[in-house]
Chains A and B, each alone.
Chain A
Amino acid sequence: MPAVLAARADWAASAFPAGCELFEGVVQDLIDELGRLPGVGPKSAQRIAFHLISSEPADIKRLVDVLGKVTEGVRFCELCGNVSEQQQCRICRDTRRDGAMLCVVEEPKDVLAIERTREFKGRYHVLGGALDPLSGVGPDQLRMRELLARISSDEVTEVIIATDPNTEGEATATYLVRMLRDFPGLNVTRLASGLPMGGDLEFADELTLGRAFSGRRSL
């Protein structure tokens, strides 16, 4: 009787490589490292890797230099905690932004995601993460005190909580809501749902995120 091992042609074409390892040594290492970057799938990782391999040494050196500077330390805005080239970031310096509205996010990348929607004209506060006891992150490790200080002294009248729609982000939002309850006259809202649950804010497409902004609910 025949062994049923031969794969038909239509089935042989696979999205996922059928073998165990595609490339050897440093090339595979490079692909793996690139593939670990957010937003880079295995195919893009391969493309970037082979692009780099065939690039001029001077071009690669520039990239390495920039990466080196990044590891030496980037600066953060002293007000909002966003990445910044100066003491205060571009958004905090911009006098046209509405200081009455403060959007609280976990990471600088979330600022970028929200800026892309062009829905929000206020300022930000970057917590630097979410409540995550497993990683030893409690309120003390987040920029909560700075947030309280800003709310007490600035002209803030509305706080929009835009933490990630996952367990840690929801816990952080709940914590913030309870903490901010004691400020009279402060309007606290949470981004409307519709964001994919269990996800990351930055992965929400602009339309969804924009809609979540305009439909935010009061708490």
Chain B
Amino acid sequence: MYLRRLQVTDFRSWPHVDLDLGTGPTVFVGQNGRGKTNLLEAVGYLAMLGSHRVASDAPLVRHDCERALLRAAVVNGDREMTVELEISPGKTNRARVNRGQPTRPRDILGIVRTVLFAPEDLSLVKGDPSERRRFLDDLLVQRAPRFAGVRSDYEKALRQRNALLKTSGKRKGGREDPYAESTLDVWDTQLAEAGAQLLAGRLDLVAELAPHATAAYEGIAGQNPDRQAHVVYRSSIGDAIPDGYGTPGGKQAEPDTLTEVLLDALRESRHADLERGVSLVGPHRDELALNLGDAPARGYASHGESWSFALALRLGSYELLRAEWGDPVLLLDDVFAELDQRRRARLAEVAVNAEQVLVTAAVDEDVPDELSGVRYRVADGEVSRE
């Protein structure tokens, strides 16, 4: 898949950009703060309906504007589609496909697929578990767009249950709320049902991703039997997850089974949940453990090893999406400057074979020779072709 054309209006620093793009590498070079990453962020938004840098939409809209507009012509095989997305913070975002009726943004998921490498990726290894959960869920949604709904249902049910826990907890000592238990039962059900879908999706994803990540790490860091990279899903409900779930060559995860498992876990945790006013178990507390040999990468791996692991997760994602849907668009944001010779070479090797790769760099020297495709200068609010 590749973007043949990209139009960006009032997005971040850009009043308007209109780019004709092609297959192979396209490189955007320019000094810091000129808006290179903003362009890649726009492409990423079309694929994920979110930014890799901020959690809310407001910073994405150009100062003093009400809405941003993204539009792309996407070529997949011999088919071309136009996707449009209007981002209006505080209102409802809208999308259109092939100039049809406006729809929910969710309906365009799957038309553009991307894998983004960015300097922020180091936090996949060094950051909080929430970073790794987000990595998994973003990948899950790109593989199967229906998980966008599952994810938001789960988040909604979680917020509702937590709100209820807080108000029920407060009444402790005071008058008993006669409805508290029965209402909590209901939200447990909602949370368990959405949670089981999400959990099943993640477990199956990890089972498939794990071998790719291990292989990719070996490709970057070389073979070393004592320092093999492994990714393992570690659930907050621990041993209750049936054997074989989430392991390569294991069993496909059954949402119905997991609903029961989650319901039990929620029931068991209810007392503590009420004390604390938050839900202490569930997919929102799970972890994607990254291990090097016997040790966890987080807190133990060296800086270089951490970078290799982050790259391996992204390369693994790329391979996974590729096997199912054909090449996703590869977005390399300023990553070569961060990497040593060996890692640069490995990433360039993959990138040069991708159907389309969009690269940003502050200076020309940061871009490996293999990727010297079409080159754009980004300066003074303009993008100009060399």
Residues of A bordering B, CB below 8 Å: 1-8, 11, 14-16, 18, 20-21, 41, 131-134, 136, 138-140, 167-168, 170-172, 174-175, 178-179, 197-198
Contact = CB atoms under 8 A, between A and B. Distances in A.
29 contacts: A3-B382, A3-B383, A4-B18, A5-B16, A5-B17, A5-B18, A6-B18, A15-B84, A16-B67, A18-B9, A131-B183, A133-B163, A133-B183, A134-B159, A134-B160, A138-B179, A139-B179, A139-B182, A139-B183, A167-B160, A167-B190, A167-B194, A174-B186, A174-B189, A175-B186, A178-B182, A178-B185, A198-B149, A198-B153
A172 to B, nearest CB: 8
B148 to A, nearest CB: 10
Given A16-B86, A167-B160, A175 B18 contact: no
Contacts of B135: none
A142 to B, nearest CB: 10
B252 interface: no
B163 A1 contact: no
Contacts, number: 106
Interface on chain B toward A: helix, strand, loop, or mixed SS? mixed
Contact of B71 (A6, A11, A41): A11
Nearest to B64: A20
Contact of B190 (A4, A138, A140, A171): A171
B250 interface: no
Contacts of A179: 182
A167 B94 contact: no
Interface string B162-204: 0110010000000001010011011101100010000000000
B182 A175 contact: yes
Contacts of A178: 182, 185-186
Contact of A5 (B64, B164, B382): B382
Nearest to A21: B66
B139 to A, nearest CB: 22
Contact of A1 (B5, B167, B386): B386
A172 B182 CA distance: 11
A3 B384 contact: yes
B84 to A, nearest CB: 7
Contacts of B187: 131, 133, 171
Given A5-B17, A133-B167, A167-B153, A15 B190 contact: no
A34 to B, nearest CB: 14
A20 B65 contact: yes
A1 B384 contact: yes
Contact of B20 (A4, A16, A171, A174): A4
Contacts of B152: 198
A133 B84 contact: no
A88 B164 CA distance: 34
A132 B167 CA distance: 12
B160 A168 contact: yes
B69 interface: yes
A4 B66 contact: no
Nearest to B10: A20
A18 B65 CA distance: 11
B157 interface: yes
Contacts of B238: none
Interface string B121-164: 00000000000000000000000000001001100110111011
B190 A14 contact: no
Contacts of A15: 84, 96, 99, 102
B23 interface: no
A132 B194 CA distance: 17
A7 B16 contact: yes
A25 to B, nearest CB: 15
A197 B384 contact: no
A172 B157 CA distance: 12
A138 B165 CA distance: 12
